[in-house]
């Protein structure tokens, strides 16, 4: 598994992929938060906090994570090297986890520089340093768990086709539905209990709870379970792929 992990990280940074993903994430967030006028602009928000960043980040990652994962298994299929995974002295689970951790690590690398935003925002307030760090840390935790789910979904999508563009589109649609789709579906019901139940199935509901600084074990279990479910689907799909 460690060898797969190292290979994934090496493949990202020996090509333009890793640098492009990290750079694109930072540029897009920087433009929407600090330059472009609109609902995400921090200066127009009127409050020195990172709420707008954590509203924007899930949508940016919704495109970037599937773009990273789209070649994970689709490229193996296209090049005909998928069969080599079955004869390696490691299990499919170890292979999938190695690819998952490699891709997830790239997301963490992209997220790490945004800590500069925390320092900048703490200086913008009326009172320097008057920033709710509990809320900030909770929001970062929520974003990290969300990234984990996106990564697992993207890996699963990459097993469905040898075409990377198809894998990207499928991964993006699945991530969108898992994040916001249940919110939309819940509006179709009139019964309040059904609405709440359907909303609870989506990632957005659980992300918002963690982003408010409330680290509830139910939300953590939800994200871990959803990630594990899609990793399981990834392994099962690989097992059933014709050799």
Contacts of 176 (CB under 8 A, 6+ apart): 62
DSSP code at position 51: H
Q: Which span out of 32-46, 69-83, 122-136, 156-170 was modeled with the highest average pLDDT?
A: 156-170
| 141-142-146 Cα angle (round to 5) | 115
Among the listed ranges 10-14, 114-118, 156-160, 194-198, which one has the minimum average pLDDT value? 10-14
**pLDDT tens string 169-219:** 999 999 999 998 888 888 888 787 888 888 888 898 888 888 776 777 888
Write phi, then psi, for 202 (nearest 5 degrees): -90, 155
Half-sphere exposure of 220 (CA within 13 A, CB side): 8
Q: Which two tokens stand for residue 191?
A: 């019964």
- Exposure letters 177-202 (e unless 16+ CB within 10 A, then b): ebbbbbbeebeeeeeeeebeebbebb
Write phi, then psi, for 88 (nearest 5 degrees): -75, 155
Alpha carbon distance, N-terminus to C-terminus of the chain:
22
- Region 88-111: mean pLDDT is 86
pTM: 0.87
**pLDDT tens string 41-73:** 766 665 656 777 788 888 888 988 998 888 888
99/2 Cα distance (integer angstroms): 10
DSSP string, 173-208: HHHHIIIIIHHHHHTT---HHHHHHHHHTSHHHHHH
Helix/strand/coil for 20: helix
For the CA atoms of the chain, what is the radius of gyration? 19
């Amino acid at each position: 598994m460690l060898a797969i992990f190292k290979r994934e990280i090496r493949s990202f940074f020996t090509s333009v992929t890793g640098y492009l993903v990290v750079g694109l994430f930072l540029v897009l967030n920087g433009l929407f938060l600090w330059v472009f006028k609109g609902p995400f602009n921090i200066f127009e928000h009127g409050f020195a906090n990172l709420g707008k960043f954590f509203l924007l980040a899930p949508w940016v990652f919704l495109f970037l994570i599937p773009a990273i994962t789209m070649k994970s298994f689709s490229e193996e299929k296209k090049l005909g090297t998928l069969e080599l995974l079955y004869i390696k002295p490691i299990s499919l689970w170890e292979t999938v986890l190695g690819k998952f951790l490699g891709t997830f690590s790239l997301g963490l690398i992209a997220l790490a520089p945004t800590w500069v935003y925390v320092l900048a925002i703490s200086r913008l307030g009326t009172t320097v340093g008057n920033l709710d760090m509990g809320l900030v840390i909770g929001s970062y935790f929520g974003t990290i768990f969300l990234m984990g789910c996106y990564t697992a979904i993207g890996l699963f999508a990459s097993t469905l086709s040898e075409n990377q563009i198809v894998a990207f589109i499928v991964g993006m649609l699945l991530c969108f539905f898992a994040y916001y789709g249940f919110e939309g579906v819940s509006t179709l019901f009139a019964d309040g209990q059904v609405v709440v139940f359907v909303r609870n199935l989506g990632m957005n509901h659980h992300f918002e709870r963690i982003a408010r600084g409330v680290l509830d074990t139910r939300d953590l279990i939800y994200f871990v379970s959803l990630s594990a479910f899609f990793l399981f689907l990834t392994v099962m799909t690989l097992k059933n792929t014709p050799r």
